[in-house]
Amino acid sequence: MLLMPMIGTAQERSRDSVLAISEVVVSLPGYLLIIQALLVIVVLGGLAAYVLYKHEQLARARSEQMRLSGMLINAQEEERRRVAAELHDDFSQRLALLSLGLETAAEDAPRHTQEQLHELLNAASEIGADLHTLSHRLHSATLERLGLVPAVSSLCKEFTAQQGMPVAFSHNEVPRSVASDVALCLFRVVQESLRNAKKHSGASQAEVELNCNDGHLHLSVSDDGIGFDVSRLAQNQGLGILSMEERARLIGARLAICSEPQTGTRIDVWAPFHANGHGAEAYEPEARQETSISSGGHR
């Protein structure tokens, strides 16, 4: 009779154990889901940290690239300035002395010798004019002394006379005082755009517009050349366009190229305006400056 209570107690304990094990087994999928969710969160957190790290690395690389590009462009401008000064102060002076010596020698020489000396004198004068043009192309003293509008105006006139391609220039509300880096960037874009129009586009004429509105300087250079497919620009991008894009990027400007085959090309630059020391007084508006081809220009 004593065995019956003991057997009953053992059965109850066994039943309780089975119920406990069943509860654990039943709740196990819930624990697995929690563990899986934690693993997913950890993996996603790791991926986010990795992407953030790579993004920071890319940002640092781009910043370093811009810094090096800026240093390269500044070094290039310094070298341009040095070479231009040497051409103007050294070679031009020596050539002027040579021309003076030829002119003096021609005065006392026989007639047939005088003709030869005058031919040499004319050749020396042409070389002197070419040296002056090259010096100005390398470094524009007009840009430093008189500002952006006179420098671009002079550039358009010289390009017309030397290259035989008329360039019309107009400006409106352009401040007399523009930050030197912005002015230099826009001047180089005009210079490179006109060179490309003459060399690659086969244009017969070009137009340069310079305006200021809403705190931005807007430069537009257009030509009537053969144009090209802009979608293929990345495959055939020359150093000139790369240089323009890099210069624009360094001053926080936006550069856009619009062109189609047989429709000409237009290059636009929107640059932030910063006054440079004398306020924001603007040049007198000029609707359009037509330039004609001079018969005395050098091709």
Band of the pLDDT at 21, cuts 50, 70, 90?
low
Q: Which residue has the higher pLDDT, 65 or 23?
A: 65
Q: Is residue 8 part of a domain?
A: no
CA angle 163, 169, 170 (to 5 degrees): 180
DSSP line for 175-221: BS---HHHHHHHHHHHHHHHHHIIIII--S-EEEEEEEETTEEEEEE
Structure tokens at 229: 């497919």
What is the domain-level CATH number for residue 203?
3.30.565.10
Q: Which residue has the higher pLDDT, 239 or 298?
A: 239
Do 190 and 105 share a structural domain? no
How far, in Å, CA of 138 to CA of 127, rounded?
16
* Residue 293: per-residue pLDDT: 47
Q: Is residue 55 part of a domain?
A: yes
Do 272 and 156 share a structural domain? yes
In the chain, the largest separation of any two C-alpha atoms, in whole Å, equals: 160
Do 132 and 45 share a structural domain? yes
Q: Which residue in the block uniquely carries the two structure tokens 């250079």?
A: 221
Do 114 and 243 share a structural domain? no
CA 37 to chain centroid, in Å, comes to 49
Would you say the pTM of this structure is higher than 0.85?
A: no
* Residue 256: per-residue pLDDT: 92
Final residue of a domain: which of 99, 121, 139? 139
Whether 66 has a pLDDT exceeding 60, the answer reads: yes
pLDDT digits (tens, 9 = 90+) for 197-243: 888 888 899 999 999 887 789 999 999 988 888 777 666 666 678 88
Percentage of residues of the chain with pLDDT beyond 90: 17
The dihedral built from the CA positions of residue 169, 199, 244 and 73, taken in this order, carries a sign that is negative
How far, in Å, CA of 202 to CA of 207, rounded?
14
Domain containing 69: what range?
Answer: 16-139
pLDDT digits (tens, 9 = 90+) for 153-167: 999 998 998 888 999
Work out the mean pLDDT of the chain and round it to a whole number: 77
Lowest mean pLDDT among 57-66, 112-121, 220-229, 245-254: 57-66
Do 234 and 202 share a structural domain? yes
Yes or no: say if 190 and 155 are a contact pair by the CB < 8 Å rule.
yes
How far, in Å, CA of 96 to CA of 231, rounded?
50
* Residue 206: per-residue pLDDT: 94
Length of the chain: 299
Yes or no: say if 102 and 120 are a contact pair by the CB < 8 Å rule.
yes
Lowest mean pLDDT among 4-8, 83-87, 115-119, 226-230: 4-8
Whether 169 has a pLDDT exceeding 50, the answer reads: yes
pLDDT digits (tens, 9 = 90+) for 23-64: 544 455 667 777 777 888 888 888 888 888 888 878 777 766
What domain count does the chain have? Answer: 2
How far, in Å, CA of 163 to CA of 299, rounded?
5
Do 281 and 219 share a structural domain? yes
The dihedral built from the CA positions of residue 67, 72, 73 and 75, taken in this order, carries a sign that is positive
- Alpha-helix residue ranges (DSSP H) falling in the chain: 3-86, 92-108, 111-138, 141-145, 148-163, 180-196, 239-250
Band of the pLDDT at 285, cuts 50, 70, 90?
low
Do 129 and 82 share a structural domain? yes
Final residue of a domain: which of 122, 139, 156? 139
Q: Is residue 261 part of a domain?
A: yes
* Residue 29: per-residue pLDDT: 63
* Residue 3: per-residue pLDDT: 43
Whether 142 has a pLDDT exceeding 50, the answer reads: yes
Yes or no: say if 297 and 164 are a contact pair by the CB < 8 Å rule.
yes
Helix (H, G, I), strand (E, B) or coil at 267: strand
* Strand order through the sheet with 286-289: 254-259, 265-272, 216-223, 206-213, 167-172, 286-289
